[in-house]
Amino acid sequence: MKFQCSRNKLTEAVTNVQRAVSVKTTMPALEGILIKCENNKIHLYGYDLEICITTEIDAAVIEEGSSVIKAKLFSDIIRKLPEDNVIIEVDSKNIVYINSGKVNYKIVGLPAADYPEIPVINSEDNISIDGEILGSMIRQTIYAVAENDVKPTNKGTLFEIGSGIIRMVSLDGYRLAMRTEKISCSTEKTFIVPGKSLIEINRLITDSNDEKTEIIPGTRHIMFRIGSYRVISRLIEGEFINYRGSIPKSHVTELKINTRIFTDTIERMSLMLTDKMKSPIRCTIENNEIKTTCNTPLGQANDSLSVSMTGESIEIGFNNKFLLDALRYCETDEIIMELTGATKAIVIKPTEGDSFLFMLMPMRLSK
């Protein structure tokens, strides 16, 4: 295998593909990037058996072939090369020669036959969505995905596609994030994508100038096409919790709140909290005002803000991190907060429409 290409293009491709490479594994090939050369293009693959990121870049292919190169070392070398022109050659013993200007490297590769087979998606379903919208949906739901949970389904986001809409739902037992958008699609599908995969997909969407992203769901895997990149992820098997049953159908208090002012208030209260000093932020809601208090061994903080209020007065406690996560991803100037009681779930939604719905459980207050 031998090819010549741009260092800048190769660096970008390797950096993105490398995110799917295993850091610690019993299979040495999984710590590498698979490179295939054919038809004046080089194809790069990173795969950790759960997620695969692949792309292709133009190159002058002198000799077609394939090889696996240690990802971290390869990435470090490519980034430090002095000139934009790079020549890479792999001999029959999988020795890799890298040349750029006066710089030469000789490193050990692995045969491509050692690399695991990349999953193939056999599906005719193709869902097209604006990349910026999908990125927004991921950002507004990923924070509620459980990092450690005995239920595998809580470690992913539920996708519901049908009736001209796409809905994404994440929950971790303490909070729920739901995002809905209209799309032009006749397909009806439901599947759960791991949170780890969605983080990488969002990174690629953010870096891509491509307007459209394609979603191609299969039986056990799913593929996202983002510009020149393909992300293939396994799907989480199992039945997602009946989240609709957990959303309150009514409320006793409704607040219309300026998102930025409320966020600033909770951030000021949070200065009294540390990982070792956890205490609820007490909110007393009455007479079109929210009075906030936080007491810890560090001291006490008090603040207040004006709101538009209907319904009953209430005193309620919040986990500062959970509340801030929801407020920071609202992406609207004002929000509606619905409260059903001091110990029941709180709903946060936009003042108009139903593009998102965030829910979190309050903390019990000591008297």
- At residue 302's C-alpha, the angle toward residues 300 and 307, to 5°, is 155
Q: How does DSSP classify residue 110?
A: B
| 55 CB-near residues (< 8 Å, 6+ apart) | 13, 16, 17, 43, 44, 228, 229, 230
Q: Which CATH code for domain 127-174+188-243?
A: 3.10.150.10
- Asked whether residue 173 carries a pLDDT value surpassing 90, the answer given is no
Q: Which of 94-98, 155-159, 275-279 has the lowest mean pLDDT?
A: 275-279
- Asked whether residue 208 carries a pLDDT value surpassing 80, the answer given is no
Distance CA 331, CA 341 (A): 26
**Tens of pLDDT, residues 129-144:** 999 999 999 999 999 9
Per-residue b/e over 251-282, b at no fewer than 16 CB within 10 Å? bebbbebbbeebbebbeebbebbeeeeebbbb
Q: Where are the domains of the chain?
A: 2-114, 127-174+188-243, 247-360
Q: At what angle do helices 259-270 and 320-328 cross, to 10 degrees?
A: 150
Q: What is the pTM of this model?
A: 0.93
The pLDDT score that the predictor gives to residue 23 is: 86
The pLDDT score that the predictor gives to residue 47 is: 97
Q: Mean pLDDT over residues 326-352, rounded? A: 95
- Asked whether residue 352 carries a pLDDT value surpassing 90, the answer given is yes
Distance CA 222, CA 232 (A): 6
**Tens of pLDDT, residues 32-78:** 999 999 999 999 999 999 999 999 999 999 999 999 999 999 999 99
Distance CA 222, CA 105 (A): 38
CB contact at 8 A, 96 and 88: yes
- Asked whether residue 157 carries a pLDDT value surpassing 80, the answer given is yes
- Asked whether residue 150 carries a pLDDT value surpassing 90, the answer given is no
Half-sphere exposure (Cβ direction) of 162: Cα atoms closer than 13 Å: 6
The pLDDT score that the predictor gives to residue 77 is: 97
Residue 274 pLDDT level (bands cut at 50, 70, 90) = confident
CATH architecture of 2-114: Roll (3.10)
Residue 366 pLDDT level (bands cut at 50, 70, 90) = confident
The pLDDT score that the predictor gives to residue 37 is: 96
- Asked whether residue 206 carries a pLDDT value surpassing 90, the answer given is no
The pLDDT score that the predictor gives to residue 149 is: 78
Q: Mean pLDDT over residues 178-189, rounded? A: 92
The pLDDT score that the predictor gives to residue 35 is: 98
Type of residue numbered 96: V
Pair of tokens at residue 93: 């013993």
Fold designation for 247-360: DNA Polymerase III; Chain A, domain 2 (3.10.150)
Distance CA 320, CA 279 (A): 9
**Tens of pLDDT, residues 5-26:** 999 999 999 999 999 999 888 8
Q: Mean pLDDT over residues 203-215, rounded? A: 86
Residue 87 pLDDT level (bands cut at 50, 70, 90) = very high
Residue 275 pLDDT level (bands cut at 50, 70, 90) = confident
**Tens of pLDDT, residues 220-264:** 999 999 999 999 999 999 999 999 999 999 999 999 999 999 999
> Which of helix, strand or coil describes residue 135?
helix
Same fold, 127-174+188-243 and 247-360: yes
Type of residue numbered 190: T
The pLDDT score that the predictor gives to residue 257 is: 98
Calculate what percentage of the chain has a pLDDT beyond 70. 99
Q: Mean pLDDT over residues 74-101, rounded? A: 96
The pLDDT score that the predictor gives to residue 292 is: 97
